[in-house]
Amino acid sequence: MLGLPLDSWLLIAASTLLGPLLVLLFLRTQRRHEAARSAGESD
Amino acid sequence: MASSAVLLVLGVYLLILLGIGIWGGRGSGDMEGYFVAGKKLPAWVIAFSSNSTGESAWLLLGLTGMGYLVGVHAFWVVLGEVMGVALAWVFVARPFKEATDRYGSITVPDYLASRFRDYRGSFRHLLRVLSVVIILAMTGAYTAAQLTAAGKAFHSFLGFDYRTGVFLGAAIILFYTTVGGFRAVAYSDLLQGTLMFLCLLTLPIVGLVAAGGWTATVDALRAQDPALLEPMGGLGLGVAGWVSVFGFAGIGLAFLGSPQLLTRFIAARDGGEINRASLLAVICIVVFDVGAVTAGMTGRAIFPGLEDHETIYPMMGTELFPAVFTGLFLVVVLAAMMSTVDSLLILASSAVVRDFLQQVVRPGWSERILSRWGKATTVVLGVVALLLALEEVRMIFWFVLFAWSGLACAFAPVVLCSLFWKRTTRAGAIAGMAVGITVTVSWVLFFKASFHELYEMIPGFLAGLLATVVVSLFTESPEGAAEELDEIRASVGPAI
């Protein structure tokens, strides 16, 4: 595929995508935590 | 000799740094201002500053060279570094920032001393003093080596005399670091990180175009050596292949707890800035590393058969771009060195003044006096590094072999345990630091050659972690520490 073996593409994809995806998951969790905290404070 | 366009670019860059130094000087009159910019740094600055500090000239010369030498196999370094940065921002940054704010810490040894109540009991201050000794030994040699590299860069790009290059590099760094303190260091890192980002975004694209496009590049690499396109390189799935994979990926472990990187979290304005910085930081490191490896691979397609693979970056800079851009490529190499050296200098200065003078020897001195001592110490440390670099002392290269991994293996396992394991004790932390650094040094000197050149970060990190855990299990954890950790976790919330 595009001249590279599939396992090379898997390594390149993991190198470039795993880190940003982990951070996006972290940001979503933090937003939910902040929302829950704000809701708790307003109650 | 250098063209006037190259000198112009270099002159503008150095003038901007001097300006940042003068601007940063406001607010560096006390310890918190001088060493952590008053804990007021915004997201953009801490994101770029942490990455440009973590990546020295090795990123531009070493990692591009690795892409040239081993091809796709070098993406294991990318995986390790990107995951190291991501894990640090997701799991370490928020609780570490919260803890250092609660303790009023402005250095990593400061944090460890408060977390483990190092100021009382037998052999008080031992953890702090051990931290200072390790920081000074590792940063002194590393700084001298980076100045040596700066002298060589001036010589090879501009034809300057080596000693003039070392002196010029050191003088500029010392000026803005001493006058401007951590604020100048962090904002100059932002400038330097942005230059590195733009360079490593552009270089592989220009390389691909010059090589005739993607298919032509891949075909050229396959014709030279089909192993360049394989994830395990020419090593296969045997022991040597996996040792190489773990060694490459292990480089990223340093991002989890090296003191010069943790200082960026301390200096952030608040936890919200850390959240905002996290995505920037991880995108920045992806561009840095993918750009460097891909540039090296395209460089091999264009310039096969280089005697020294680490010359591919200057080769591409001079052969594929007009003269004014050649100046920019030199500036980017200098930027990568300077952004590391300034951070190491201020780290070492904080270790001497905050962690030794103020906390151990002269607790009664005022903030203003200590801040002046901080500036004086920065100058003294810089001059010592300058003299070592001018004399090209061979010993420093011996130290540099393990300076990056030594700092990381001494601090990262202990910092991780301190944040995530309530049972961690002061004795465990001391043992972890001592064992981490000792195993790292011993591995390089006695064992590395017999174990397929396994990178010392792996055994050093694991040994530090093991020592921290085992000794902690047999000793008492500090009173109240478990409750503090619970409060910190509740405050920052879950990571994922």
Predicted confidence (pLDDT) per residue in B107-123, tens digit: 999 999 999 999 887 78
Contacts of B222 in chain A (CB under 8 A): 3
Per-residue pLDDT at B65: 93
- Is residue B496 predicted with pLDDT exceeding 90? no
Per the prediction, chain B carries an average pLDDT of 90
Instruction: State pLDDT tens for residues B398-434.
Output: 666 678 899 999 999 999 999 999 999 999 999 999 9
Per-residue pLDDT at A1: 63
Per-residue pLDDT at B146: 83
Nearest residue to B60 (alpha-carbon basis) of B208, B196, B186: B196
DSSP B228: G
Q: Tell me the HSE value of B242 on the side-chain side, using a 13 A CA sphere.
A: 3
Rounded to 5°, the CA angle B325-B328-B332 comes to 145
Answer whether B82 sits within 8 Å of A18, measured CB to CB: yes
Percent of chain B with pLDDT over 70: 98
Which residue in this structure is represented by tokens 């006096």? B369
Q: Give the pLDDT mean for B174-178.
A: 90
Which residue in this structure is represented by tokens 């109650």? A43
In the numeric block, which tokens belong to residue B204? Answer: 């592989």
Per-residue pLDDT at B394: 61
The model's confidence at residue B133, banded by pLDDT at 50, 70 and 90, is very high
Report the interhelical angle of B457-473 vs B426-442 (nearest 10°).
150
Per-residue pLDDT at B469: 98
In the numeric block, which tokens belong to residue B343? Answer: 């951070």
Q: Can you tell me the ipTM of this complex?
A: 0.94
Task: State which residue of chain A sits closest to B272, comparing Cα positions.
Answer: A30
Which residues touch B463 (CB under 8 Å, ≥6 apart)?
Answer: B409, B435, B436, B439
Answer whether B286 sits within 8 Å of A14, measured CB to CB: no
Answer whether A20 sits within 8 Å of B222, measured CB to CB: no
- Residues belonging to chain A with any Cβ–Cβ distance to chain B shorter than 8 Å: 2-5, 7-8, 10-12, 14-16, 18-20, 22-27, 29-30, 33-34, 37
Instruction: Among A2, A16, A20, select the one facing B214 at the smallest CB separation.
Output: A2
Instruction: Among B86, B231, B493, select the one facing A30 at the smallest CB separation.
Output: B493
Shortest Cα distance from A38 to chain B (angstroms)?
13
The model's confidence at residue A43, banded by pLDDT at 50, 70 and 90, is low
Per-residue pLDDT at B308: 85
Per-residue pLDDT at B397: 58
Per-residue pLDDT at B29: 78
Cα B49 from Cα B64, distance rounded (Å):
21
Instruction: Among B229, B286, B289, select the one facing A20 at the smallest CB separation.
Output: B286
For an interface test with A, the pick among B90, B228, B248, B287 (most A C-beta atoms closer than 10 Å) comes out as B90
Per-residue pLDDT at B165: 85
CB B71 within 8 A of CB B297: yes
Residue A17's Cα: distance from chain center in Å?
8
- SS3 label, residue B236: coil
Cα B204 from Cα B214, distance rounded (Å):
11
Cα B472 from Cα B85, distance rounded (Å):
27
DSSP B90: I
Amino acid B143 reads T
pTM of the model: 0.93
Instruction: State pLDDT tens for residues A11-36.
Output: 999 999 999 999 999 999 999 988 88
Per-residue pLDDT at B278: 97
Residue B79 or B142, more confident: B79
Nearest residue to B47 (alpha-carbon basis) of B12, B93, B14, B10: B93
The model's confidence at residue B153, banded by pLDDT at 50, 70 and 90, is confident
- Residues belonging to chain B with any Cβ–Cβ distance to chain A shorter than 8 Å: 72, 75-76, 78-79, 82-83, 85-87, 89-90, 214-215, 218-219, 222, 229-231, 275, 278-279, 282-283, 285-286, 289-290, 493-496
The count of other CB atoms within 10 Å of the CB of residue B494 is: 10
- Is residue B157 predicted with pLDDT exceeding 80? no
- Is residue B269 predicted with pLDDT exceeding 90? yes
Cα B48 from Cα B246, distance rounded (Å):
27
- SS3 label, residue B268: strand
Per-residue pLDDT at B414: 98
Task: State which residue of chain A sits closest to B232, comparing Cα positions.
Answer: A8
Answer whether A20 sits within 8 Å of B279, measured CB to CB: yes
Nearest residue to B151 (alpha-carbon basis) of B336, B343, B324, B159: B159
- Is residue B85 predicted with pLDDT exceeding 60? yes
Amino acid B188 reads S
Per-residue pLDDT at B2: 58
Instruction: Among A3, A5, A33, select the one facing B493 at the smallest CB separation.
Output: A33
Q: Give the pLDDT mean for B134-159.
A: 82
Shortest Cα distance from A18 to chain B (angstroms)?
7
The model's confidence at residue A2, banded by pLDDT at 50, 70 and 90, is confident
Rounded to 5°, the CA angle B172-B54-B152 comes to 45
